[in-house]
Amino acid sequence: MFKIGINTNCECGKGDNEILSNIKNAGFENVMLSYKAQNIEKSIDKIHALGLNISYFHTDNNRANDLWAVGESAQSYIESIIAQIEMCSKHKIPIAVMHATKGSPSDFALPPNKQGLKNFQEILKVANKNNVKIALENIDCFSIKHLYFLLENFKDKNLGFCYDSGHHHLYNPKTDLLKKYAGRLFALHLHDNLMDWRAGFDHTRDLHLLPFDGKIDFTKVCKKLKNINYQGVIMLEVHKKACGKPQMYENMEYKDYLVEAYKRAEKIAQMLE
């Protein structure tokens, strides 16, 4: 049986405590804790008190473009990520999901460069020391080269890939990312969209809908996951308040949305068994 999880920033409650309680009551046993939590340490205590497991921690991506720069801002960002990895180790969170860039089509990072390798080496050294896995997430079509650059230059056992189904089919549908990084797949972000992004649009096409509510063919996604023998968590990364239009869930109660989210994740798990 596959473990089933959901992101804590799914917007299903008024404040973190209510969101976590609602997640638990919907049947979830695993979560991806977001850096956007109001108080991360208190959220961790609440998660554990509820008997939930933290499968991944999603690190801060707001300043991720600084990874490729030099200077005070870049060093501050590196130190922040290092502190987040050490926090994962402290609380026995096995995987830190990280962006290679901020990942917005309207906010470009510098091209992949040697400074980025130097900066990332500092982060990876701490991850290896603390035995925390870093899973680099595929974001938009402009930053995929940054992802490739890091994964091709570092072969550490604690560095791998987080497959985001929504980003893949929205921005890079012609690339078989699951086949490319089959042996390094650490984590999943499963969500849906209308696959309608094109040059000139911002991130609001990245809807983060429940699987099967958009145009992604999850039968194919599951077939690829099954072919590479994926055995990890079926992790949703969804937002009740979709990141753009249509707003499909605005009239749903938190409970109803989360129960439906669990059913969708369960359906994917069944497709993989």
Q: How far is CA 200 from the centre of its chain?
A: 24
The per-residue pLDDT for 46 is 96
pLDDT digits (tens, 9 = 90+) for 183-222: 999 999 999 999 999 988 888 999 999 999 999 999 999 9
Split at pLDDT 50, 70, 90, the class of 80 is very high
pLDDT above 90 coverage of the chain, percent: 93
pLDDT above 70 coverage of the chain, percent: 100
Q: How far is CA 91 from CA 84, 96, 132, 142, in A?
A: 11, 12, 11, 34
The per-residue pLDDT for 31 is 98
Q: Look over the chain and give the mean of its residue pLDDT values, rounded to a whole number.
A: 96
Gap between the Cα atoms of 220 and 238, Å rounded: 20
Q: How far is CA 67 from CA 19, 81, 145, in A?
A: 32, 10, 14
pLDDT beyond 90 at 106:
no
Structure tokens at 17: 């405590």
Over the range 141-164, which residues count as b (16 or more CB within 10 Å of their CB) and which as e? bbbbebbbbbbeeeeeebbbbbbb
The per-residue pLDDT for 199 is 85
pLDDT beyond 80 at 90:
yes
> Does the CA dihedral 34-250-261-192 come out positive or negative?
negative
Split at pLDDT 50, 70, 90, the class of 10 is very high
The per-residue pLDDT for 200 is 85
pLDDT digits (tens, 9 = 90+) for 124-170: 999 999 999 999 999 999 999 999 999 999 999 999 999 999 999 99
Low-confidence winner among 9-18, 33-42, 163-172 (lowest mean pLDDT): 33-42
Q: What CATH class has 4-272?
A: alpha beta
The per-residue pLDDT for 39 is 87
Question: pLDDT higher for 191 or 36?
Answer: 191
pLDDT beyond 80 at 38:
no
The ranges assigned to domains in the chain are: 4-272
Closest CA to 152 of 123, 208, 112: 112
